């Protein structure tokens, strides 16, 4: 009898822990704006073709539109409030310059060129003007140095004037918490991957929280944007099956990956190949 009681206690404890885990993974279902994003393919940082057409450049975004695709892009907040489309905070990889993009103003940004070409770093306004009324956008907010609130406020204010389909995503749950409060109607997504200690300079405990989506109960995302190689992990599966969350898959580099993502109803974010029309 004592053994049976111990087994029942352990079973009850495991059941409670599982229930708590599900509550932590809470997502939102039924956002009507999601319909404007479905059924499209998304070029990762535009349909770039290096070295001639850099990532996150106006030619890359124009090229995506020419093929009828949407695009995924990255947004940073400069020190003077300018919103720029660029991936890294560090300028070196894409411009060869030293420093971080958040320390620039608009004039300093205009002096930079992308990846050895004559292309400047685009402003967020310029990319929005290209896509407005034509194709949807997946907009990733890149916080840096504790600017998550200022970045989210600036992007939200600009998107209030935008007439097109879009969603907003971020690896930083603080961005989504601010977005949830300021613009609850926006489609918002939590980016994730199988973080390991040291990834993105994060300590082990933060990697554990982020890879297991343990702050969803605070952000309540509409979708999870997961690295394709990590999409079989339990937290994502539970978000989809138990909470009805949508999914976006990045970054697809093979036709078979694209086919698998689309078969599961995931928004496909691709690069380095031409998937053709859907």
C-alpha span between 258 and 241 (Å, rounded)? 21
C-alpha span between 226 and 266 (Å, rounded)? 10
Q: Which residues contact 205 (CB under 8 A, 6 or more apart)?
A: none
Asked if the structure places residue 276 within a domain, the reply is no
Which residues of the chain carry a pLDDT beneath 50? Answer: none
Please give the positions annotated as active site: 44, 87
Residue-wise pLDDT for 110-120, tens only, equals 999 999 999 99
Asked if the structure places residue 130 within a domain, the reply is yes
Backbone angles phi, psi at 127, to 5 degrees: -70, -40
Report CA dihedral (253, 207, 86, 249) to the nearest 10 degrees. Answer: 30
Asked if the structure places residue 244 within a domain, the reply is yes
Contact 271, 43 (CB under 8 A): yes
Residue-wise pLDDT for 8-51, tens only, equals 777 777 888 889 999 999 999 999 999 999 999 999 999 999 99
Asked if the structure places residue 278 within a domain, the reply is no
Asked if the structure places residue 230 within a domain, the reply is yes
pLDDT at 248: 98
Residue 183 belongs to domain spanning: 2-270
Asked if the structure places residue 275 within a domain, the reply is no
Asked if the structure places residue 203 within a domain, the reply is yes
How many CB atoms are located within 10 Å of the residue 268 CB? 25
Asked if the structure places residue 105 within a domain, the reply is yes
Q: What is the CATH number of the domain that holds 242?
A: 3.20.20.190
Model-level pTM? 0.95
Domains identified in the chain, total number: 1
């Amino acid at each position: 009898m004592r053994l049976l009681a111990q087994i029942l206690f352990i079973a009850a404890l495991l059941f409670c822990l599982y229930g708590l885990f599900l509550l932590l993974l809470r997502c939102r279902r039924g956002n009507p704006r999601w319909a404007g994003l479905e059924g499209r393919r998304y070029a990762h940082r535009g349909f770039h073709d290096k070295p001639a057409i850099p990532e996150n450049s106006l030619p890359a975004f124009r090229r995506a539109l020419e093929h009828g695709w949407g695009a995924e892009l990255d947004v940073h907040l400069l020190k003077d409030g300018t919103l720029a489309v660029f991936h890294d905070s560090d300028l070196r990889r894409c411009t060869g310059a030293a420093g971080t993009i958040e320390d620039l103003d608009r004039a300093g940004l205009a002096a930079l060129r992308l990846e050895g070409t004559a292309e400047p770093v685009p402003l967020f306004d310029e990319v929005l003007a290209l896509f407005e009324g034509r194709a949807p956008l997946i907009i990733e907010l890149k916080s840096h140095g504790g600017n998550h609130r200022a970045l989210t406020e600036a992007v939200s204010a600009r998107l209030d004037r935008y007439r097109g389909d879009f969603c907003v995503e971020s690896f930083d749950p603080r961005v989504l918490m601010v977005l949830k409060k300021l613009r609850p109607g926006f489609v918002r997504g939590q980016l994730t991957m199988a973080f390991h200690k040291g990834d993105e300079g994060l300590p082990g405990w933060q990697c554990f929280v982020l890879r297991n989506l343990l702050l969803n109960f605070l952000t309540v995302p509409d979708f999870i944007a997961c690295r394709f190689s990590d999409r079989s992990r339990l937290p994502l599966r539970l978000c989809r099956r138990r909470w009805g969350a949508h999914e976006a898959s990045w970054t697809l580099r093979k036709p078979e990956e694209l086919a698998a993502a689309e078969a599961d109803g995931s928004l496909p974010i691709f690069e380095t190949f031409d998937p053709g029309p859907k």
